[in-house]
């Protein structure tokens, strides 16, 4: 960090894309036009709640990046991690106070920066997910109802067109329960086949 060495730590996505399953430590990659020695591999994190691949990342010393890549000392984003049990609302207020003091922003002036509390974002996304789940459940229920009505109509037509067959079966000794079971089996088979065909089409 102090010397501004060109070293980096990479995520698994970068490792897999460049080196496959082999060990990347001690090898070199180019970040921009700067050759960078790999000194570490980050543990897998997977996708974030926002769908961002957290393993598609390269970490390097800030001074190295500012001097040799960006050419300036600008910092766009700072991530702050709170200890367990710390009130994030109070922490956010403290964080907002510090840059206002450093930048000499007047009391009546608006902030020229943004502080976001991830717990609020997570709560919003949880509420959105719950709403989407309810909507999907409603759509599924309507689809099942429509499908059930369609199958009922098909079976009603089938029974109406096969009254002669039903009469013959009753005449030769079949009970009403056996006739009912026949049409129930046909209805269930029709439903299962329709579901399997729909599932197969969904995966294509």
β-strand pairing of 7-10 with 34-41: parallel
**Predicted pLDDT of residue 142:** 92
Give the strand pairing for 34-41 and 28-31.
antiparallel
Name the percent of the chain lying above pLDDT 70.
99
Q: What is the pLDDT of residues 5-58, one digit of tens each?
A: 889 999 999 999 988 888 888 888 888 888 999 999 999 888 876 678 888 999
Domain ranges for the chain, please list them: 7-76, 85-116, 119-203
Q: Is the pLDDT of residue 169 over 70?
A: yes
For 127, counting Cβ atoms within 10 Å of its Cβ (0-12 exposed, 13-18 middle, 19+ buried), the class is exposed
Q: What pLDDT, on the 0 to 100 scale, is given for residue 2?
A: 79
Q: Count CA within 13 A, CB hemisphere, residue 50.
A: 6
Q: Measured between alpha carbons, how far is 61 from 4 in angstroms, rounded to an integer?
A: 6
Nearby residues of 42 by Cβ (< 8 Å), 6 or more positions away:
9, 10, 11, 12, 55, 57, 59
What DSSP element (H or E) covers 197?
helix 176-203
CB-CB contact of 53 with 40 (8 Å): no
Q: Residue 89 has which token pair?
A: 């609302």
Question: What is the per-residue pLDDT for 49?
Answer: 66
Arithmetic mean of pLDDT, 79-99: 85
Where b means 16+ CB within 10 Å and e means fewer, 20-30 reads eeeebeeeebe
Percent pLDDT > 90 in the chain is 13
Q: What is the pLDDT of residue 115?
A: 86
121, 127 contact by CB (below 8 A): no
- How far apart are the C-alpha atoms of 173 and 41, rounded to whole Å? 77
What value does the mean pLDDT of the chain take? 85
pLDDT tens column, 112-156: 888 888 777 777 878 888 899 999 999 989 988 888 888 788 778
pTM: 0.50
Determine phi and psi for 168, rounding to 5 degrees: -65, -40
d(CA 148, CA 49): 37
């Amino acid at each position: 960090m102090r010397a501004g060495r060109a070293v980096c730590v990479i995520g698994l996505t970068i490792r897999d894309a460049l080196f496959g399953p082999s060990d990347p430590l001690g090898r070199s990659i180019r970040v921009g036009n700067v050759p960078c020695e790999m000194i570490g591999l980050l543990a897998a994190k997977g996708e974030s709640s926002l769908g961002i691949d957290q393993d598609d990342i390269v970490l390097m010393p800030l001074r190295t990046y500012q001097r040799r890549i960006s050419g300036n000392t600008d910092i766009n984003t700072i991530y702050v991690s709170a200890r367990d049990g710390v009130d994030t609302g109070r922490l956010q207020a403290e964080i907002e106070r510090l840059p206002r003091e450093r930048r000499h922003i007047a009391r009546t002036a608006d902030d020229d920066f943004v502080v976001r509390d991830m717990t609020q974002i997570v709560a919003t996304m949880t509420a959105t997910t719950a709403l989407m789940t309810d909507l999907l459940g409603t759509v599924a229920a309507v689809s099942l109802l429509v499908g059930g009505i369609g199958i009922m109509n098909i079976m009603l037509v089938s029974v109406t067109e096969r009254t002669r067959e039903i009469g013959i079966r009753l005449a030769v000794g079949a009970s009403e329960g056996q006739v009912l079971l026949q049409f129930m089996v046909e209805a269930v088979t029709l439903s299962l086949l329709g579901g399997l065909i729909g599932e197969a089409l969904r995966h294509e």
